[in-house]
Amino acid sequence: MSNNKLHNRSYFCKRLREEGIDTTTLVVYDKGERRMPASPERRWTVACSPADIIVTCYKKDEDFWFRMETSDSWNTIIRTQSMKVVSDIIKGCIDGTNPPADHQQDP
């Protein structure tokens, strides 16, 4: 397993900024009382611009996945250990190309 922690919001946003993608944290879900009761796996949500992509991270035990959605009703769920896969999908939304179908997976 790689040393990167894609489920860590700070690391995730830092890596996207390195790729030239701006992020804004919308919601942070911590352990304890502030966690959303309907979705205990949900960790955080960020908006990525200029493509207006909403990325939500979910984590259960050691498993984690991302749900990505845009204002034009595109959405996908991916599981990956690679930040390159995530940034390629976001860049694909920014430049108007569809993300590769092999990255779309259900959790």
CA distances from 18 to 5, 21, 28, 51, 87 (A): 16, 7, 21, 16, 10
pLDDT at residue 103 tops 50: no
Average pLDDT value for residue range 78-93: 88
pLDDT at 32: 54
> Tens digits of per-residue pLDDT, 11-50?
999 999 998 899 998 866 655 555 555 577 888 899 998 7
Q: Which two structure tokens, joined as six digits, stand for 13?
A: 């946003």
